Amino acid sequence: MSFFIPEAIAQSQTAAQPQGPDMQFLIMMIGLFVLMYFMIIRPQKKKQKEHDSLVANLDKGDEVVMTSGMLGKIVKVEGDYLILSTGNNIELKFQKAFVHAVLPKGTIKSIQ
């Protein structure tokens, strides 16, 4: 019977050692989070900050492109809204957040 006792001790010692793979898994998960932060979250925050700056600096007379693709010239800015002249005395009201880009002056005339 004493022949089986060293085997039982050896089994109990090897069963208590799987802490290495757990630490590797934790390091891998932290690495993936850091990678996702630099590849996805950080660029998105930078883009959002640029868009907020663009919307805050909108002024009367700016030529803009809306997210729908509509071109127009800003006639009036009212809080979170702007009135856009699209030509032929047509004025439309949009939310500022839907401005995609500000165009250089004279772009609309060059397109028409």
- What string of H, E and C letters represents the secondary structure of 35-65? HHHHHHHHHHHHHHHHHHHHHHCCCCCCEEE
The neighbour count for residue 88, using CB atoms within 10 Å, is 5
Is residue 50 domain-shared with residue 69, that is, in the same domain? no
Is residue 63 domain-shared with residue 107, that is, in the same domain? yes
Tokens of 101: 């880009």
- C-alpha–C-alpha distance, residues 64 and 74, integer Å: 7
- pTM beyond cutoff 0.75: no
**pLDDT given for residue 11 in this prediction:** 55
Is residue 48 domain-shared with residue 75, that is, in the same domain? no
Choosing from 22, 38, 54, the residue where a domain stops is: 54
Q: Which amino acid is at 65?
A: V
Q: What is the pLDDT of residues 60-104, one digit of tens each?
A: 999 999 999 999 999 999 999 999 999 889 999 999 999 999 999
**pLDDT given for residue 87 in this prediction:** 87
**What domain range is 85 assigned to?**
59-111
Using 50, 70 and 90 to split pLDDT, how confident is the model at 21? Answer: confident
Listed in order, strand segments (DSSP E) in the chain are: 63-66, 71-78, 81-87, 90-95, 99-103
Is residue 15 domain-shared with residue 49, that is, in the same domain? yes
Tokens of 104: 């250089």
| Number of structural domains in the chain | 2
